């Protein structure tokens, strides 16, 4: 399957946005009001899972970007 250069650029941009968004959430978790520990555990897991998904999207986007130049 071939992905166009435009679509691979979109996927790369989406991956970068996801990483930025979830890292900002992780940073801001500690600056709000005190919450139960379960809140931090669940949101920590969400941050980790979404960062892994963003890295996977970035790899797919990068491979598509570089293969479309050939």
Supply the pLDDT for residue 1: 67
Read off the pLDDT of residues 3-28 as tens digits, 9 standing for 90 and up. 899 999 999 999 999 999 999 999 99
Cα(26)–Cα(40) distance, rounded to whole angstroms? 9
Lookup result for tokens 């998904």 = 53
* pLDDT over threshold 80, residue 29: yes
Mean pLDDT of the chain: 92
Supply the pLDDT for residue 30: 81
**Degrees (nearest 5) of the Cα angle 16, 22, 23?**
90
pTM as predicted: 0.87
How far, in Å, are 5, 23, 54, 70 from residue 20 at the CA level? Answer: 23, 5, 10, 30
Cα(34)–Cα(49) distance, rounded to whole angstroms? 24
């Amino acid at each position: 399957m071939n992905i166009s250069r435009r679509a691979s650029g979109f996927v790369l941009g989406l991956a970068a946005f996801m990483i930025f968004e979830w890292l900002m959430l992780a940073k801001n978790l500690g600056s709000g009001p005190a919450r139960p520990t379960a809140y931090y555990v669940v949101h920590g897991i969400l941050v980790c899972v979404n960062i892994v998904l963003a890295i996977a999207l970035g790899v797919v986007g990068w491979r598509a970007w570089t293969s479309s130049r050939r």
